[in-house]
Structure 1
């Protein structure tokens, strides 16, 4: 093979060490061994965070706390109250100017002021053509129009309030042209005729009105639509009277500036472009501060972001994914640190997939075979740690001696073989393969001596999966035990054949993946009879092996297969269930299988029944202390296996 080198043109650093996800993987493994499904365990890791970083729960709580603080920041009727204050100020100044004037025109003006309606918007409208005597009153009344116009425009286009503090006709004309061009741009986009060049031309002409400098039309529409939706929710949050007064006042102010039609057209275009935004609804705001229309709109836009972020961070909706959480939304709502925490979570999930520990399955992300092997090894280490701490010694015995009478024949070596090597045939194979000269041994050269005695075992591990296992909290220990025993047999003793059989109302064979992915349903029934039936089928497939049945359960049999093949459940156990189960025990006994039972509860009926099974079969009944199930099951398997060797 020839190797050619060239310049590195960027991208991921090829010499960068793999991202360290051991802590994340171990945390997922601990939760799975404790009884969780992989999806639940991964979700829990994403919620809690890892390596000192905030998880989704912390992000959601921060969003909720900030939203709560914002809702208590002030009331939304600030603009309406400000208009009333300016109107009262104008009327007070005008009456002060009219009072010393003895003319009839002054009295007529006073009567006109006295006849003004209590409704603020109607009073403002009726004063539109009034000839003010007081310059201070005229200025206060003019402030009403300026205030409403600037509040509305600043609410829609953030940052225009300062520009409109002292508006001149030229500035208002620029705003009118901007609104007209913006509406034309949105109409063209709705027809599918918008181009990037059109947007660039628009920004070149009117970019001063958009200090956030959107990169494209989509960003511009998103920003404007969020504020427009928030403004609509603000109006919905007012009382009916407040809403009517403020709407009327704003219509008057915008009509005077010839802006009403353009802003109404813009509102319709934005709603059509982003119908997914929360346009309806209202908010309950409280606090001492009176928020103006623009500030209230900004507050409600931030609230919408926080509420959306809290929902996305909850990840409790169908098809939820970290990819759903927009980084711009996170930064806008919670700042850059929250973005970095989110990136950490995404990288962990991405690296778990890239390094082969997670894969996409039919029901979402699942543990890969590589992760399952690691999980089995972890379970096995936990069991052996318990064995060693309990003073039982190292049960990982590997006897390379003869397993029985030598037949005189040999065969090729297979991984896991424990028979002695046939040295002469092994060297001969190496010589024939290497040819003249230096002889080198390889795995394909090895041959082992054949023996007569059966040295393998057929192991059926029956695991109770009735709902009581979840309720009592014993499922995690049973799962760990099953994975540990499967890992032990698969890696240390591959000549043994193990099958895991789960049983509740029915029994079924299970792979390690099935065990790991198991999610609980409220299924009642402990159908040991069906499980023993499947165990016999497994033993029959391996007639030459030593038959071993191990049963893990927390309850007496409460179900059996009736004559029609369906599960028949009854509690307390019916005589038919007991009879069917005992009959299956007898069949296993005649088959030569030893049934060793590990009880996870000391309920008297369970103990009595299992002792009867042990008496009929000759197997043993154990009641392991909490947390010691794996130690008992693995030690029993190893002891039985060691005993078979010595018997040989």
Structure 2
């Protein structure tokens, strides 16, 4: 009888294939290049020349071929342009989710559970006797027929009201969310790249909501001089424009979108560097980039108070470390009784969490 022959196994440095190693870098660069494949590959070529990322067995040409074969990029034969596919867009969002919130598994139900029974869509294992007002869909016919057989016998089978058994369903709450993203020029001012971590947080939140809570609704709003909605698939392509920061326009659009949603639970996530600098008055823009203008900030504070009255909490992700900007976000969040995460640019995964509703403060990693 032949036995097993064992040979020495020499794993790679981190267990990943050459494609996986280059793919991690490619995904990271796509976030910085706003989804520009050509620019990302040019950066990879320069990095390869400096750090020898590839080998003679597997070069960048092989990596590009694998990207095409696996459906991550597509090339227009007529123009020669290369673009990422929806598969890559989703991979970027998943990567951001894992980087910031850790690995979360997708659930079949994906909802916010409560401890109250009611008219929901998850069957409760317990039953109760019929009560006036119960609907036909709530009747557990198997248990009801069994009760009728026990109470009246098989020979004279009949079903009465006392035989009916009701199986309730658990009530599950749903939430409508608006995600606001600041794309003003201040997000790249003074050489600080704030838009890249902002996009990472936005993609992580959108992936978290769509995978963990697929029955929720999610609207995405970007705001500069004005505010307008964008699709989830467009998040990797967001770029900063020559805009001021009209936080008021973003909040007004967010509130308008939430008014159209029928869910009783509503919330706003806002990713910004915290400095509103613009208002639109009729057809004229009122602008002031020199510090915090009370005419502008008061409008923001008033909208925060309105959201509080409408029971719309605002969670702010502050992508900046300026003390005077943090003081404004603190006042804004305290007025709304919302929550705030203060993030530094070099520690994207760590946030200083402030919950003004419960008076809590902690560091979240």
Structure with the bigger percentage of strand: 2
Deviations 1:135-159 (A, max 9, x none): xxxxxxxxxxxxxxxxxxxxxxxxx
Deviations 1:382-406 (A, max 9, x none): 1234xx9xxxxx9999999963533
User: What SS does the corresponding residue of 1:598 show, helix, strand or coil?
Assistant: strand
Question: 1:469, 1:449 → 2: CA distance?
Answer: 51
Question: 1:536, 1:400 → 2: CA distance?
Answer: 23
Partner of 2:158: none
RMSD of Structure 2 on Structure 1 (CA): 4.2
Question: 2:141, 2:32 → 1: CA distance?
Answer: 52
Structure 2 gap ranges (5+) = 1-16, 128-136, 143-166, 359-365
Deviations 1:320-348 (A, max 9, x none): xxxxxxxxxxxxxxxxx8xx98xx43443
1:467 corresponds, among 179, 182, 185, to 185
Query: Is 1:29–2:27 an aligned residue pair?
Result: yes
Deviations 1:596-629 (A, max 9, x none): 2232334343233223222321123342344455
Structure 1 gap ranges (5+) = 1-18, 56-336, 389-393, 412-418, 430-447, 641-648
The alignment's TM-score, normalised by the length of structure 1, stands at: 0.40
Deviations 1:233-283 (A, max 9, x none): xxxxxxxxxxxxxxxxxxxxxxxxxxxxxxxxxxxxxxxxxxxxxxxxxxx
Question: 1:381, 1:365 → 2: CA distance?
Answer: 27
Cα 1:399–1:514 change in 2 (3 A) is closer
Question: 1:373, 1:492 → 2: CA distance?
Answer: 15
Larger radius of gyration: 1
User: What SS does the corresponding residue of 1:403 show, helix, strand or coil?
Assistant: strand
Question: 1:401, 1:459 → 2: CA distance?
Answer: 13
Structure with the bigger percentage of helix: 1
1:498 corresponds, among 218, 239, 243, to 218
Tell me by how many angstroms 1:594 deviates: 0.8
Question: 1:358, 1:399 → 2: CA distance?
Answer: 30
Tell me by how many angstroms 1:357 deviates: 0.8
Superposed, 1:349-368 pairs within 5 Å as: 349-360=64-75, 364-368=81-85
Query: Is 1:536–2:276 an aligned residue pair?
Result: no
Is contact 2:245–2:277 with CA below 8 Å preserved after alignment? Answer: yes
Partner of 2:36: 38
Partner of 1:489: 209
Cα 1:534–1:383 change in 2 (3 A) is same
Question: 2:210, 2:54 → 1: CA distance?
Answer: 39
Question: 1:31, 1:428 → 2: CA distance?
Answer: 58
Question: 2:168, 2:46 → 1: CA distance?
Answer: 56
Deviations 1:4-28 (A, max 9, x none): xxxxxxxxxxxxxxx9733332211
Is contact 2:29–2:40 with CA below 8 Å preserved after alignment? Answer: yes
Deviations 1:552-589 (A, max 9, x none): 2223210122212x543222354442343333333322
Is contact 1:458–1:538 with CA below 8 Å preserved after alignment? Answer: no
Deviations 1:497-519 (A, max 9, x none): 22232222222323343221234
